[in-house]
Amino acid sequence: MKIISTIDELRDQLRGQLRTAFVPTMGNLHEGHLSLMRLARKHGDPVVASIFVNRLQFGPNEDFDKYPRTFQADVEKLEKEGVYVLFAPTEKDLYPEPQEYRVQPPDMLGNTLEGEFRPGFFNGVCTVVTKLFSCVQPRVAVFGKKDYQQLMIVRNMARQFALPTEIIGAETYRAEDGLALSSRNMYLSAEERAEAPALYQALNFVAGEMRAGHLDIFSVERDAMDQLAKRGWKPDYISIRKRIDLQPPSAGDLAQGAPLVVLAAAKLGTTRLIDNLEI
């Protein structure tokens, strides 16, 4: 595996490649990330991964400085997966001058759910993904469904800008007890880790209520949040949305059986976890 930090060297290495499959990450790789690499290989060759902790998507009170960085262990894992190139730029490599041009998603999608609780987050995501796509120029790129809203925003962005990159969504990789794998899980204490699957259980409660015909979505959402709060969580949201645009479903949508997804974000101790479940 070639480890490359500069844009010019990356472009030289990939020149002439027409089937590149790309998996952008922020490092601290776990089995969920590695499953994305395997899916990427099914859709293209060579596989290029990136590791870059993107400052633009962190708020002023978020965990940029303490975000886990495990570069050597990440390299070993990617080598075992047969990744061809690891693009690991420094901030100076990717942002040699202040990144004053930004990519802004539409308010309707970018300022709801995660965007409401993390202002500017999707601005930072869209900007770095656009720049990474420009550097790698992949035919396909793989993103995990755990970050459901992010996947939708990136997919819409690629379509509206007519980018020559197909966005592929990978199913959420879960531990045996249902917890979605996440780099932030390492912040959990042993006691918190034992409690953490309750978030997925709350999603399953909502899905079960909806399938049983309980269509008062606000009541169902509130009950699920109350259940978590009683267990010591601090929920930001548990929200039932239409898969097609992540807007709240109308009575007509529910009557017609519109495909839905329930999304959640909640703090357990000091660790904020997100998850979702398609209904």
Residue 275 pairs in a beta bridge with 264
Torsion 241-242-243-247 (CA) sign: negative
Cis peptide before 105 (omega within 30 of 0): no
Measured CA to CA, the distance from residue 51 to residue 61 in angstroms comes to: 22
Measured distance between the N- and C-terminal CA atoms of the chain, rounded to whole angstroms: 40
Angle at the Cα of 266 from the Cα atoms of 132 and 222, rounded to 5 degrees: 125
On whether the CB atoms of residues 173 and 31 are closer than 8 A, the answer is yes
Return the active site residues.
33
Judge residue 162's burial from the number of C-beta atoms within 10 Å of its C-beta, 0-12 exposed, 13-18 middle, 19 or more buried: exposed
Between strands 140-144 and 85-87, the pairing is unpaired
Angle at the Cα of 59 from the Cα atoms of 70 and 186, rounded to 5 degrees: 35
Residues 6 or more apart whose CB falls under 8 angstroms from that of 205 comprise 223, 224, 227
On whether the CB atoms of residues 200 and 275 are closer than 8 A, the answer is yes
- For residue 248, the 8-state DSSP code is P
